Amino acid sequence: MSTESRLGAAMDLRFEESVQEFAAYVTDRGLDHVELKREYLHAHPDAPTPHELAELGRESDVTFTLHAPFRDWNLGSFNDASRRASVEQVKRTLDDAAAADAGAVVVHGGSVPRRYPDHVHAKARQNAVESLRACAEHAAHVGVPLCLENQPRSDTKLRHTTTPDDLDSLLTAVDADPEWLRVTLDVGHAKVNGFDWRTFADRFGNRIEVVHLHDNDGTNDDHEPLTDYETVVSATDATYHVFEMKRVCDVDACLAVAPSRLS
């Protein structure tokens, strides 16, 4: 099964469909990739095992990527026990990705409340560096690349990857093998932070493994349909391009096709 230039969609925690149903929807639309958030697999009553995912991929000619937990976990926590627990969650996601024959794991770079003093910010960032280094080493061990995502800016949290300079600085500080610590370019996050996605594409080039496709009006990270996705796909040398929508029918809007029964 080839993994070149895969175009697909991510399953959101809001979706009620099973992975099998969503994979069928994807292939019906001429797509061939599914990204699964770890939280979806935690919460859905019929979530497949990693080995069942691998079998589904072989049967359907669909590839998978996984998104590491981010709702309840923080690789940059200044609480060392929480940081270590977060690292274990990412490592388990990498293990499951390897068992599922998934091509990559997307990860966030951590955050810290802005209201805290500078010494807390400094410890949180160093913890993020140490966490990502440990996770990247595990990625190399299991043979699945870990892909650090540019995050949207927050008024309350200081996130470590909101600008090209910050993302580059964090990657440099981690100093991991770029074959295993790669990049997820989120075009919607770039836009809401005031950057053209091309700025990230030019900066990180062939280190970009995954691209998240969605749009917004520049003020909120709304994950609206992106109809001009072909421009991004053709200009980025990523293995996986993924529509990241809040509703299944919004994937149809990206593709400019009639909505499916899954909505």
- Amino acid, res. 188: G
Domain assignment of residue 20, yes or no: yes
How does pLDDT run across 127-184, given as a tens digit for each residue?
Answer: 999 999 999 999 999 999 999 999 999 999 999 999 999 999 999 999 999 999 999 9
How does pLDDT run across 198-257, given as a tens digit for each residue?
Answer: 999 999 999 999 999 999 999 999 999 999 999 999 999 999 999 999 999 999 999 987
Domain assignment of residue 17, yes or no: yes
Global pTM?
0.95
Domain assignment of residue 223, yes or no: yes
Its domain, for residue 12, covers 6-255
Domain assignment of residue 260, yes or no: no
Long-range contacts (CB closer than 8 Å, 24 or more residues apart) made by 18-21:
18/44, 18/46, 19/44, 19/47, 19/48, 19/53, 19/56, 20/48, 20/56, 21/262
Domain count, the chain: 1
Domain assignment of residue 261, yes or no: no
Q: What is the model's pLDDT at position 258?
A: 52
Domain assignment of residue 1, yes or no: no
> Does residue 259 carry a pLDDT above 90?
no
We report the CATH number of the domain holding residue 180 as: 3.20.20.150
